[in-house]
Amino acid sequence: MSTMNSEVYDALMDAGADKTKAREAAKSVARYDTDIAEIKASLLLLKWISGFILAFVVALAWRVFQ
């Protein structure tokens, strides 16, 4: 099931695009929005993981060189 961005569809229709091409383009934009949201979620997780690793390495270095 695909989702369509109605704002993009309306803008393309107002610009004079073909109905089927406008629908497919709006669906494509919606897929990109979903992909970008997934990438942002993955990036957030990676930031947390790297922050935890950095804190752990600093704690180990502190313990070793104390």
> Which residue segment(s) compose the domain that 55 sits in?
6-64
So what's the pLDDT on residue 2?
A: 59
**How many distinct structural domains can be found in the chain?**
1
The answer to whether position 1 is within a domain reads no
The answer to whether position 18 is within a domain reads yes
Tens-place pLDDT, residues 6-58: 888 888 899 999 989 888 888 888 888 888 999 999 999 999 999 999 999 99
What is the 3-state secondary structure of 28-54?
HHHHHHHHHHHHHHHHHHHHHHHHHHH
**Better pLDDT: 7 or 1:** 7
Distance CA 52, CA 50 (A): 5
So what's the pLDDT on residue 41?
A: 94
